[in-house]
Structures are given as C-alpha cells and as structure tokens.
C-alpha cells in the first residue's frame, strides 16, 4: 500500500468490503515506541451493528489496522 499522510485520512468514510458504509474515521491509535499503527477509531453510522469489532465507552468502533484492504475515496475494511 502506498504511503498516505494521516491528515489526508481525517474524516474519510469507512466502508466494508461488501460495500456497506460503516462510518467516518474519527482517529487512529498507534504504538508510540515503534510507530506501528494499531486501530482505526470509527465514528459509526447508526445502522452499524457490527459485533465483531470492539467499542469504547464513547461508542466508537475500533477496527484493527490489519483489516484495512484499501484507502482511496473510502477506507475499505474486511468484514
């Protein structure tokens, strides 16, 4: 995957590999020592009922970065 600046990801829509729009990117978590990305933090649409992803106390969905399949107009994640 080509390098993409984090500022270009801010507010980008997140879509499942099946074409379902899941929400908007809220934030990204990372390991500060290694710089490795950990999770995409997604502000989910009300219709997103995914149980396979962890949610935080604010209702944001945490998607492991390993589930990202593509980043173009949308961030596409494996469902």
Q: What is the mean pLDDT of each run of 10 residues along the chain (79 residues)?
A: 62 90 92 90 82 87 93 90
* Assigned CATH topology for domain 6-77: SH3 type barrels. (2.30.30)
∠ CA 31-25-49, rounded to 5°: 105
d(Cα 9, Cα 20) in Å, to the nearest integer? Answer: 19
Q: Where are the domains of the chain?
A: 6-77
d(Cα 2, Cα 61) in Å, to the nearest integer? Answer: 25
Residue linked to tokens 């995409």: 40
Position 54 scores a pLDDT of: 87
Q: Which pTM was predicted?
A: 0.82
Position 46 scores a pLDDT of: 78
């Amino acid at each position: 995957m080509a390098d993409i600046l984090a500022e270009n990801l801010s507010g980008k829509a997140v879509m499942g590999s099946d074409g379902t729009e899941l929400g908007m990117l809220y934030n990204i978590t990372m390991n500060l020592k290694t710089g490795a990305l950990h999770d995409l933090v997604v502000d989910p649409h009300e219709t997103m009922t995914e149980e396979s992803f962890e949610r935080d106390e604010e209702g944001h969905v945490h998607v492991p970065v390993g589930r990202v399949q593509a980043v173009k107009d949308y961030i596409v994640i494996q469902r």
